[in-house]
Structure 1
Amino acid sequence: MSTTSIAVLGAGSWGTALANVLAENHHDVRLWSHRAAQVAEINETHLNSKYLGENPLHEGVVAYTDLRAAVAGAEIILSVVPTKATREVAHKLQETLANIGQKVILVGATKGLEPGTYKRTSEMLAEEVDPKYREAVAVIEGPSHAEGTIKHDPTLVSVASDDLKVAERVQAVFTNASFRVYTNDDLVGSEIGGALKNVIAIGAGALESLGYDANAKAALFTRGLAEIARLGQALGANPLTFMGLAGVGDLYATATSVHSRNFRAGLQLGEGKSLDEIVAHMGMVIEGISTTKVVHELAQQKHVDMPITKAIYQVLYENQDPKDAIAELMGRPVHQEGE
């Protein structure tokens, strides 16, 4: 495999895990963070202890606080900053690329939707980085907790792009014995699946905390996936995408694992903690909390029925008791399953 220069923007758990995969594949990897102490720890100890504990990083992962130094000469740039920071960082990246005169492949690996605009990661990247500085935009989605990836747990993801050759190039730089990448051309479905599964995962955590068993969890999982697909199709997604890694695969991983911040947020929700308490206790970004509000608004705008999302929204933002929300869901008029 030839060496590719790759910059990873965002040194959280997932950004660091992806950088580590690339370094293990012997690529030139630059990991950018705005936190000087974090950069020093990565470079001096090969650890990112806040996000990945004592799991050692490949020595090929080199961290930077200087954005220009991180992206100069890079052929591929991964954006793995939180949704709320994606547009701001992409704007700074545009300025940097224009100053350098450099054209890159942009890859988004953040699972969320922008509040207010309802834009997906790929749309924010495309809007902020001028076409003359980007060859194409792609996204990485699928069932992939950083905690498993760093330990070489067999991980399967998909990379989606309108340009299949670009998707195949990203596939090639990432794929190895424990990290397998598939390609597809459905950006909308891939990103909607990746974002909305976080909402359902909050509900799954709440069910777990409240003591509900497999029947309730299976109901949430199945009907939650139906809601995800319903909105996705209204936005132009391929319905088959939701049967794949970015759909049912990512939903399963996120809605069943304590590695998921969204699932853990749901656990605390079921314990009666307030939204402010949950956010303060986690100490990290919980994408599903803001995504729930965005999706609730988007569903209303698109006239898409999403009762589970609405219930989770009411528990999070209107202080509804989770058991009352469940009772209301169970009391809805019955209809055909396909509706």
Structure 2
Amino acid sequence: MEKLTPGILKTKQHFEILDGLRGLAALAVVAFHFMEMVYLPPQNFLAHGFLAVDFFFCLSGFVIGYAYDDRIGKMGAIAFFKSRAIRLHPLVILGSVLGLLSFLFDPFGGHLELYSAGKIILVFISSVLLIPYPVVADRAFNLFSFNAPAWSLFWEYVANIVYALVLYRLARRWLLVLTIVSAVALCLVTYRAGNIMGGWGGPNFWDGSARISYSFLAGLLVYRSKWIIRSNLGFGVLSILLVLPFVMPFNNLVWITEPLVVLFYFPLIVALGAGATLSPGLKKLCNFSGNISYPLYMTHYAVIWMFGNYYSSHKPGTSQLALIIIAGIIILVGVAWLVMVFYDTPVRRYLTERRKRALRN
């Protein structure tokens, strides 16, 4: 292994349309989480908004391959893990803090009296360290009770570890074999569960392994195989194409339609997004969308729990509910921008610069 240098750690140029689509998927997740507190999936117009997570996984496989395939051999697994931790973990910590605060000071409900201080501390520590601990009934036994979306980060970390230890060395034909095996596993999980919604809680924990395995491998395979489709499709058209599966009806056939979307449609969207043409006027929008996507995803759920308790106690009408949800999404986007500007970016910059200085010395 070559000596690690600051140059090896330099971030590569982004696929800007894919960044924009990532932000759109994050918005879909937020809207879905608001809606699911009110309506069950058949009545939820974003009944399949949860599939945005599978799009994230596929996009992650593509981006990790693009960013690290040609340099992880030089930087080594430990340096790779440090890079990923700097990128991901500051918001894992902040999301846990916000979740704890919403649990302790929710003005609309909750059953704080049922939990000892020791248990609350243990749940918080498990959330910060991404150690699954689904024990809080008031949080639907989520793997991470103070920041429910962190379940996907847990599996993202697992995928990153497997990538650094195994996948980056793997020949494309074996990557294809693994992807096919994972596709079969995903179909079996979907058939057993009836949908691809699992992975977030104790009872459906292992469903998450099937979701990350296939989608991450598929994204990596798209990159390794150079399945980038050049076209004049812009961000607008691809945004519509991405949203279509999120508004797909929730019916008795989802055990067929959901795997079709995850197995074929999302890798196609990634391939199209990587090769599409971005008009100059939308560049800033895509950059903004990509930049706030992760802060939005990791900070919004503290508000979702409070909204759920508010809805249960106040039962607002449909018009009022629509205004609350729309205003809530706008406010959460603003909060995500503030988090990005005043916390996430400065913390990551500080940690990265400190790391580079250590390498120079």
TM-score band, normalised by shorter chain: under 0.3
The structure that is strand-richer by fraction is 1
> How high is the TM-score relative to the length of structure 2?
0.25
Q: Which has the higher contact order (CA 8 A, sep 6+)?
A: 2
Q: TM-score, normalised by structure 1?
A: 0.26
